[in-house]
Amino acid sequence: MREPEIFKLIERISNVLRSEQRKKYAVIGLQPIHGQVMEYLARCNKYSNTHASVADYLGLTKGTVSQTIQLLERKRYLDKTVDSIDGRVVHLTLTRTGQALVESLKPLESFRQAETLMGDQSFDNLDHALSDMLALLQQTNQSKSFGLCHSCQHFGIEQQHYLCRLSDETLVRDDVDKICRNHAAKPHS
């Protein structure tokens, strides 16, 4: 049975990367959770930039997310905007300063070096295996997939425009490569 060893390897890789991340964020007076929230907001689409979506994606309580967002807003890394249709919904977007910070802190240099040393084929195989494992874990735990729009069963192209069939809205090109809370994986053929 190999899974305990694989689990330990994944856990150890995660610990090494988190340690490097903690050091980077400590230099600028932030905790890793602050960076994780900003990284999520940099990657998510307009349907997924809410407090609840951040909490779901990171597996955190709404209280923890709320405190984190307040701090990031005070430091001017993000802005809050009330939804124009549903006034109860607040959207979170990174400011230019927040975007610049996220860009400056990723990817972790040690990870980039390891990727280069592994070679393209090995890294592609690892990427595929881990993607499959993540999908199975999400299915088993009944958690949202937060996949990319273009890999969603609700995604379509009609009259040379990208479309979300769930919301019945046209998508801009930038949305297609972002993660979505409402993602539903296309069935395997």
168 closest CA partner among 159, 181, 155, 178: 155
Query: Residue 189: what pLDDT?
Result: 46
Q: What is the pLDDT of residue 107?
A: 65
pLDDT above 70: residue 4: yes
Closest by CA position to 135, among listed 167, 183, 176: 183
**171 vs 97 pLDDT, higher one:** 97
DSSP state of 178: S
Sequence letter at residue 40: Y
Give tens-digit pLDDT for 7-54: 898 899 889 888 888 888 899 999 999 999 999 999 999 999 999 999
Is the pLDDT at 3 greater than 70? The verdict is: no
Would you say the pTM of this structure is higher than 0.85?
Answer: no
- pLDDT confidence of residue 137: 79
Q: Which domains occur in the chain, in start order?
A: 3-104 (1.10.10.10), 145-189 (2.20.70)
Pairing of strands 161-164, 78-82: unpaired
Residue 106 has pLDDT above 90, yes or no: no
Residue keyed to tokens 């979506």: 53
Closest listed residue to residue 104, CA positions, set 184, 25, 173, 5: 25
Residue 49 near residue 93 (C-beta atoms within 8 A) = yes
Contacts of 36 (CB under 8 A, 6+ apart): 58
What is the rounded average pLDDT of the residues 64-83?
Answer: 96
Is the model more confident about 167 or about 71? Answer: 71
Per the CB < 8 A criterion, the answer to whether 105 and 96 are in contact is no
**pLDDT of residue 1 exceeding 70:** no
The pLDDT tens digits for 113-170 are 888 888 878 878 888 888 788 777 777 777 777 888 888 889 989 888 898 888 888 8
Cα dist from 170 to 43, 116, 177, whole Å: 19, 38, 14
> What pLDDT does 125 receive?
86
